Amino acid sequence: MKKIDDEMLDEFEKDFQEAVAPLEDKYEMKIKLNNITYADDSFKARLVCEKWKTPEEETIAQNKLWNDWAAYLGLPENLYGRRILDPHNGFIYTIGGIDESAKKYKVVLYQGTVRSRCTPGFVRRCQLLENLDVIDMKED
């Protein structure tokens, strides 16, 4: 048996998504694994099934989630989908939402199609780019 590690779980998640794709289509639901914990010979995950949302519904839901967390994290409201500039390296990121399960790196960022996470403090140090349009974020 393969040892369970990060690499094996990444492969498993990809295979799992391929396997449940027909169910997602049939029931118009997004099915994913969350909160994965593992040992050498076993792992546990929470199965999450959510009704599909239109892009407009998803944007509204993500804006609400962002605004619900904003005050707690010390961040401005209505930043979802907005672009920020890192003054240290000149990179531009798009705010992609909140990862509620993350302990420290709760803010989801996109640089092009590359997804990453950061601390709320990083966002506070960045400059909001007012002159760039808000963009619609799509699920990956």
- Residues 6 or more apart whose Cβ sits within 8 Å of residue 102: 117
Query: Over the stretch 72-82, which tens digit does the pLDDT of each residue have?
Result: 999 998 899 99
Q: Please give the mean pLDDT across all residues of the chain.
A: 87
What is the average per-residue pLDDT within 57-64?
88
DSSP letter string, 20-76 = HHHHHHHHTEEEEEEEEEE-SS-EEEEEEEEE---HHHHHHHHHHHHHHHHHHHT--
Domain locations in the chain as residue ranges = 6-51, 55-128
What is the average per-residue pLDDT within 80-96?
92
